[in-house]
Copies of this chain bind each other. A is one copy, B any other.
């Protein structure tokens, strides 16, 4: 699951009162709806190795050597993007990138994808061609080929992409493998995309400063960490992995819950705020870099757990041309909570303030 632009940046959508009946899965938020679906559709196919609830589902074709992964993401105009802020090629690029990021989080190499597209009647052919130019740029850059799709009319633009990838040697990493004592790492920088979104809110669509351009680019054309994900899955150094799409404070509890005993006991995580690879320049345009590193979504960096005994090997062998990895905290015994641990050792909870499609 990934986030788009947060709903609270869209006028008229903030704190819209819920009209759902008591116990509604929508009212209870996206995670609760995923739980409902996991119960409703338990895995029962022998070829299916991982069903609902991870970044991607995993299956093994009969007689095949490797595993295949499939993931799907939908972007809705007005919820996940605004057409006036988004060039069509950027929308195409990002729509595919968020899917490839889910494959990267399992360690699967992208292979193919399909695109279903709803197009309002006011869209020009030029818009459609530019959209597919962005799709092609992202797909070509990561070895993924468009193989099919569907086209429909609609009142707003809706893009739904399904991407599938392959792990030739069958090595994939799920969210669920972390253990107490594991070290938590992230790739790249956190809060950069949210800093770019803040620039758009301030009307700075064509800034000159390099840091602002970098933030805008991260928001408009996020780079899925396919090569890093594939390397990490094959390294033997990683026990659990996911991508950070809805923000660290929302996604890390999901990794904690998945890695527990399955009966809701979960596991806690401790995060050292001073170690977070926050995007410092965003303070220049009024952001709090630490808050964005914790709660800002759409970075599409990888979050992964490394057994303590594997740390040295990871650092010694991680290729220098891949995005840098940073040790941000540790998995500890607990019940699914995430704590910020200050340098003086004091702990305070990190509440999930990331994106939930239905909670606002």
Contacts and interface: CB of A to CB of B under 8 A. Distances in A.
Interface of A: 1-2, 4, 7, 13, 16, 18-21, 23-28, 30, 33-34, 36-37, 40-41, 43-45, 47-48, 51-52, 56-57, 59, 61-66, 68, 70-76, 78-80, 111-112, 114-119, 121-126, 128-129, 132, 136, 145-156, 158, 160, 162, 164, 166, 168, 357-358
A281 to B, nearest CB: 31
A74 B28 CA distance: 26
A7 B37 CA distance: 32
A17 B47 CA distance: 50
B164 A70 contact: yes
B112 A57 contact: yes
Given A45-B145, A62-B66, A125-B21, A74 B152 contact: yes
Nearest to A126: B21
B152 A52 contact: no
Given A145-B48, A158-B76, A26 B68 contact: no
A250 to B, nearest CB: 14
Given A61-B68, A153-B358, 6 more contacts: A34-B151, A40-B129, A47-B111, A52-B148, A56-B148, A59-B112
B126 A74 contact: no
Q: How many copies does the complex hold?
A: 2
A146 B59 CA distance: 12
14 contacts: A19-B121, A20-B123, A48-B147, A52-B149, A63-B64, A71-B148, A72-B116, A72-B160, A74-B158, A74-B160, A76-B153, A78-B155, A79-B153, A164-B164
Contacts of A114: 57, 70-72, 162
Contacts of A122: 19
Nearest to A71: B148
Contact of A123 (B26, B76, B121): B26
A45 B166 CA distance: 13
B116 A24 contact: no
A19 B122 CA distance: 6
Contacts of A19: 121-122
Contacts of A45: 111-112, 145
Contacts of A146: 37, 41, 51-52
Nearest to A79: B153
Contacts of A41: 132, 136, 145-146
Nearest to A41: B146
Contacts of A148: 51-52, 56-57, 70-72
A118 B159 CA distance: 11
Most buried by B among A119, A148, A155: A148
A59 B146 CA distance: 12
Contacts of A154: 76, 78-79, 156, 158
A271 to B, nearest CB: 27
A128 B25 contact: yes
A295 to B, nearest CB: 19
Contacts of A153: 7, 13, 76, 79, 357-358
Contacts of A25: 125, 128-129
Contacts of A20: 123-125
